[in-house]
Amino acid sequence: IQQFVLGDLETNCYVITNDMKDAIIIDPGDECQEICDYVKDLNVAVKYILITHAHYDHIFGAGFLKQIFPDAQIMCHKDDQLLWKKQTFDAKQNHISIPASFRKVGIDAFFTNSMQFGTATINILHTPGHSKGSVCFYLEEQQICFTGDTLFASSIGRTDFEGGDKNQMVVSIKKLKALLPNGTVIYPG
């Protein structure tokens, strides 16, 4: 697992590789040649670009990566589909520049309950609260969880954005507390 900190909001993006020479990129919040160079140096194939939620600081690098790795599938929760489409407007409102590559890309597939990555199973945990379609990626056997903006090291994600819901966030945090055993390593957004 390699972490990259991207963009003005310092979003955590992760590259996960396996022994089968496959890679997953989680939450590419900005265009980053360093990620491409890292993946190419490892000589791995990017299979998926996984999105924990569709705020611009987690998706604006997806188009750039899709141009470099055209076979990679961009995946997001279906409940964030409209939020994805709205991010160019939200970015403009916040005076954030919109990468030209992002305008040319969309979501290729929506999550189901789990997916395979080599021999590992990635459980897709729907954790609404920060957005309607927020998810966490839990690899039970490896005891790691990528939480996006649902859970941070010492706090939880904001719920005052469009689609955010404080009550749903409480339910999601309780769900994570019940599902994740002590010792689970958290990789926040």
Q: Does domain 2-188 have CATH number 3.40.30.110?
A: no
For 66-94, write each residue's pLDDT tens digit.
999 999 999 999 999 988 888 777 777 77
Predicted confidence band of residue 155 (pLDDT cuts 50, 70, 90)? confident
If you average pLDDT over residues 15-34, what whole number do you get? Answer: 94
For 113-138, write each residue's pLDDT tens digit.
999 999 999 999 999 999 999 999 99
Domain coordinates of the chain in residue numbers?
2-188
If you average pLDDT over residues 33-47, what whole number do you get? Answer: 95
Q: Output the pLDDT for position 30.
A: 87
Over 90: is that where the pLDDT of 161 sits?
no
Over 90: is that where the pLDDT of 169 sits?
yes
Among the residue ranges 21-30, 101-110, 137-146, 161-170, the one predicted with the least confidence is 101-110
Q: Output the pLDDT for position 174.
A: 96
CB hemisphere CA count around 147 (13 angstroms): 27
If you average pLDDT over residues 53-68, what whole number do you get? Answer: 93
